[in-house]
């Protein structure tokens, strides 16, 4: 999208803002123009898939995920492709990440943590029964809908190259270091079922403690602690919770508790409600096949369209983000991964000021048209912090600027933009009403 803010159509979907971005894919918000339903669309680079010989694996993963209909797993609706991209249309979950709830509350009460853990185990158990392993389970991949129901995202899509060898084990070390099982780090092959169970145990610990069981700034020290399962439970954990967590965080995958055994655990069973759902109608996999054949007839194209005109003040009144008072702060108790503001300055000046504010904070800057990538030069808890910015034109004299985290740790991003905002305050537009109030 350029500075004029054109609207993009993809088949019957109208694409919106980017919700998340990784090394090989990005996720965009979209709306089905026929039904009005909101969806999330994961966009993959087709050349990357072909270059890494991942076609058969992705076909298998997507086909399996399309067949999985479970209340605690994000639903995969359909797959499309253009000449250069693959589009995976997913259920849009609007309640935020479970991670936000932990950051906001510090830790959850035991009953609430158990309720989320029960839903997590339901989802993991169901997917394992269909041969799908997540391998990157962490609170950031656990979403909540508007009713507070947990939904596992990226199940089977987080890692596209499981590479099961002749020994029947997985050999790709992946996942976030703090949550990965010892056998994954040892690189001798591992069972996807047992490694996912370990990650579930770390998540349960984090929900109840408010911090990680294994957390060291030095990666080798962290690995040693994980491989020895060197951790201790806080005093407020009940004896039942401690016993279960110690059986899950067993460094030996052969003696580690299994999901059937977790389902029989007394602490786990308290208030447990087995999932109730129906598989529903037959699911067609025709779209999955058509995405990967060479036929041109099934290809879709992204079409740019001019947006409907909207009074700038009406647009501003619809967004909390444009109020300078809460621009770079927590909103509704959540740690944000993105923020927006408006400016009456010319786009070139906005871009220059963003660059000037970012460089003293240790960020390298790459510019292209009205987009900018900020890459931190220091390695944080989850690699280098990276931020994408983009300038949109709302009206000839009014521009909206979007900033979003594209890599690194969310809390580090939160600290970054609180410092970053001080260098931008004089270019952020304020309404007369706000100006009067702050005099």
Q: Nearest Cα to 320, choosing from 336, 300, 309?
A: 336
How many helices (H) and strands (E) the chain has is answered by: 15, 14
User: How many whole angstroms separate alpha carbon 332 and alpha carbon 282?
Assistant: 41
The distance in angstroms from the start CA to the end CA of the chain is 37
Determine which one of 136, 154, 196, 250 is catalytic: 136
User: How many whole angstroms separate alpha carbon 223 and alpha carbon 230?
Assistant: 10
Give the gyration radius of the chain's Cα atoms: 23
For the chain, what's the residue count?
Answer: 439
User: How many whole angstroms separate alpha carbon 75 and alpha carbon 112?
Assistant: 24
Where does 254-404 have alpha helices with state H? 259-263, 266-269, 286-292, 312-317, 347-358
Q: Nearest Cα to 135, choosing from 150, 114, 166, 157?
A: 157
Cβ pair 416, 387 in contact under 8 A? yes
How far from chain centre, in Å, is Cα 233? 28
Is 42 labelled a binding residue?
yes
| 31 torsion bin: left (phi>0), alpha (psi -120 to 50), beta (else) | beta
Query: How many C-beta atoms surround the C-beta of residue 45 within 10 A?
Result: 14
Location of structure tokens 């392993």: 133
Per the DSSP assignment, residues forming a β-bridge with 336 are none
Q: Nearest Cα to 20, choosing from 305, 287, 294, 405?
A: 405
Cβ pair 204, 196 in contact under 8 A? no
Cα–Cα distances in angstroms (integers) from residue 78 to residues 17, 90, 237, 287, 288, in the given order: 20, 7, 43, 7, 8
Half-sphere exposure of 306 (CA within 13 A, CB side): 4
Q: Nearest Cα to 365, choosing from 420, 439, 307?
A: 420
Active-site residue flag, 37: no
Cβ pair 155, 134 in contact under 8 A? yes
| Cβ density class 51-63: b for 16+ within 10 Å, e for less | eeebeebbbebbb
**Residues marked as catalytic:** 136
Binding residues: 42
Feature table: binding site for ATP:
42
């Amino acid at each position: 999208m350029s500075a004029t803010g054109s609207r993009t159509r993809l088949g019957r979907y109208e694409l919106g803002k980017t919700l998340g971005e990784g090394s090989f894919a990005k996720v965009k918000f979209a709306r089905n123009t026929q039904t009005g339903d909101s969806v999330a669309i994961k966009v993959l680079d087709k050349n990357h898939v072909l270059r890494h010989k991942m076609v058969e694996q992705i076909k298998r993963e997507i086909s399996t995920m399309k067949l999985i209909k479970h209340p605690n797993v994000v639903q995969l609706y359909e797959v499309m492709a253009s000449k250069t991209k693959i589009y995976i249309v997913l259920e849009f979950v609007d309640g935020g990440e479970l991670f936000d709830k932990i950051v906001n509350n510090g830790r959850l009460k035991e009953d609430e943590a158990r309720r989320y853990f029960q839903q997590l185990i339901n989802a993991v158990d169901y997917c394992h029964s269909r041969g799908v392993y997540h391998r990157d389970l962490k609170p950031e991949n656990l979403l909540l809908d508007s009713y507070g129901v947990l939904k596992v995202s990226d199940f089977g899509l987080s890692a596209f190259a499981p590479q099961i060898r002749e020994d029947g084990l997985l050999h790709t070390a992946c996942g976030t270091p703090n949550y990965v099982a010892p056998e994954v780090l040892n690189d001798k092959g591992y069972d996807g079922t047992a490694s996912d169970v370990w990650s579930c145990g770390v998540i349960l610990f984090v929900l109840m403690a408010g911090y990680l069981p294994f957390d060291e700034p030095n990666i080798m020290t962290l690995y040693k602690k994980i491989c020895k399962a060197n951790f201790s439970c806080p005093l407020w954990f009940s004896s039942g919770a401690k016993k279960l967590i110690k059986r899950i965080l067993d460094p030996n995958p052969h003696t580690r508790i299994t999901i059937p055994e977790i389902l029989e655990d007394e602490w786990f069973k308290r208030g447990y409600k087995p999932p109730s759902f129906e598989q529903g109608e037959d699911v067609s996999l025709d779209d999955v096949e058509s995405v990967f054949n060479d036929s041109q007839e099934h290809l879709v194209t992204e079409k740019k369209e001019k947006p409907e005109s909207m009074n700038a003040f009406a647009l501003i009144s619809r967004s909390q983000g444009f109020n300078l008072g809460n621009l770079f702060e927590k909103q509704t108790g959540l740690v944000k991964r993105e923020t927006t503001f408006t400016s009456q300055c010319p786009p070139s000046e906005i871009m220059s000021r963003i660059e000037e504010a970012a460089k003293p904070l240790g960020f390298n800057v790459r510019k292209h048209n009205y987009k900018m990538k900020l890459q931190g030069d220091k390695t944080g808890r989850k690699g280098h912090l990276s931020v994408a910015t983009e300038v949109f034109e709302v009206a000839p004299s009014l521009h909206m600027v979007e900033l979003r985290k594209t890599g690194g740790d969310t809390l580090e991003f939160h600290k970054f933009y609180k410092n970053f905002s001080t260098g931008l305050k004089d270019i952020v537009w304020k309404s007369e009403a706000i100006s009067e109030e702050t005099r």
